[in-house]
Structures are given as C-alpha cells and as structure tokens.
Structure 1
C-alpha cells in the first residue's frame, strides 16, 4: 500500500511539474533568437525545411502537439532531431516552440 501511494504521489508531482513548465507565457522574441541559432539550419530561417526529414514549420508540420510532448522530444531528440538537454534550458526550448508556431502560413 505504501509503495502504491508513493508511486501515485510521484506521478501526481510529475504531472503538476509538467503543467507548471508549460503554464508560463513564452517569449517569442527570445524564441526567435534561439530558433535562428539552433533550429534554422534544418527547419529553415522562415520555417521552410532545408533538411530531409525535418518538419516544415511554415506548413505547421510537427507543431500541433502539446508543449509538454514537444519539450520532451526536443530535450532527448528523436530520429534526425538532435536532443538539446544540457545545451538549451526548458525555457529556451519553449520559447523556440512558440516562435516556430508563428512561422505557419
């Protein structure tokens, strides 16, 4: 019973933390700077993909997922997408996500 309660408490805390991470307002201007430094080489300066397998943000590819899922994917990497854990903070990643969404046409 105690182990089950501990697990439930840990899962609830993780859910609250994930919500807290995505609850703050993103800084799109800072996100633009992060995007140009770390994302534009593959996703293009205007969101038109320049790399095979990289989503084209100008067509909203890959952007319609929840922030928490995108944050996790960008921390750890997936497929041709490199991970940014240790290179970018969660705040910088979330700002870049917010900026990426402004590129949709």
Structure 2
C-alpha cells in the first residue's frame, strides 16, 4: 500500500478528520484483513485522480478501539465520507468500477 493517505488515531481524529478543509474518505481497516488490503489497493489506483478534492484517512481498528466503538464499526473494511466534520455517507461500494463512479459523481 502506498503512503498517500493520513492515519488517524483516537487522539488525532478530531484534528485530522473533523477539522479537515476538504472532504475525508475514512477507512477503518486492519493489517490482517484481506478485504481491507484489497480495498486499499483499489483506493491507491483511484485516489490520485482526485488529489486536492478528497483526502484518504485510515484508522487501524485494532489500535483504535475507542474510535471503532464511537463510530459503531461492526465490520471492516468500513468506508465513509465526511464533509465539514460530519459523516454524510456510508460507502458500500468495494469494486474499482463502482468506487470510480462514486468518486466521479461526488468529486469529478
């Protein structure tokens, strides 16, 4: 996985996600989760086209249980969109084509 994303923790979530000037694509994940790693590879391919329009922020669910509890994360990967400090959309798409369409509709 490339390093073209930010990492948030229990301590940094507010500053990185809630105070962001651009929309945030929030990804709860874990390094042992195969679907999480597959989604990460898809995001690595797609997100460079939307640089400056959306920022990817990843939260390691194993290391940040308070955030998982607060956001009611029941399974990973969990992808959502934040605008102006508020979660506005839970993203169910996981394939490259569907995610590309999702990004084009919102940031294209």
TM range (shorter): under 0.3
**Which protein has the bigger strand share?**
2
* TM-score, length-scaled by structure 2: 0.27
- The structure with the largest alpha-carbon Rg is 1
* TM-score, length-scaled by structure 1: 0.28
**Which protein has the bigger helix share?**
1
